[in-house]
Amino acid sequence: MRSTLKDTPGPLVRAWVNLEGKTLTQVALDAGLPPASCRIALRTAHYAGEAAIARFLGKAPEDLWPLRLADRAERKNKARQAAAHREKRSAS
């Protein structure tokens, strides 16, 4: 299933924002974020920037970046498992 997931290319997301009459900087500022937040989100994981872009486009972040967000969820799950294992070991 993971092989079918593809993130939306950054230039396409930028074009969609521009077609709606805004720049990525304007979207970030309107969301109360630093000016570069949405530009950064096109290149790498940036939760707040991703959320601002998705909200502006009327989409869920998972619709734009399914692979990136699946990886993030997988890393969080592994971290939780490791913490639970450490807690269990220290309680013994």
Q: Is 64 domain-assigned?
A: yes
Report the 10 Å Cβ neighbour count for 38.
30
pLDDT score, position 58:
98
Q: Is 2 domain-assigned?
A: no
pLDDT digits (tens, 9 = 90+) for 8-64: 999 999 999 999 999 999 999 999 999 999 999 999 989 999 999 999 999 999 999
Whole-number Å distance between alpha carbons of 3 and 1 = 5
Whole-number Å distance between alpha carbons of 20 and 54 = 13
pLDDT score, position 92:
67
The CA–CA distances, whole Å, from 45 to 7, 61, 73 equal 11, 11, 12
pLDDT score, position 1:
45
State yes or no: pLDDT of 81 exceeds 80.
no
pLDDT score, position 87:
75
Q: Is 38 domain-assigned?
A: yes
Q: Is 80 domain-assigned?
A: yes
Total domains, the chain: 1
Q: Is 1 domain-assigned?
A: no
Q: How far is CA 64 from the centre of its chain?
A: 8
CATH number for the domain that contains residue 44: 1.10.260.40
- Full residue range of the structural domain in which residue 42 is found: 7-91
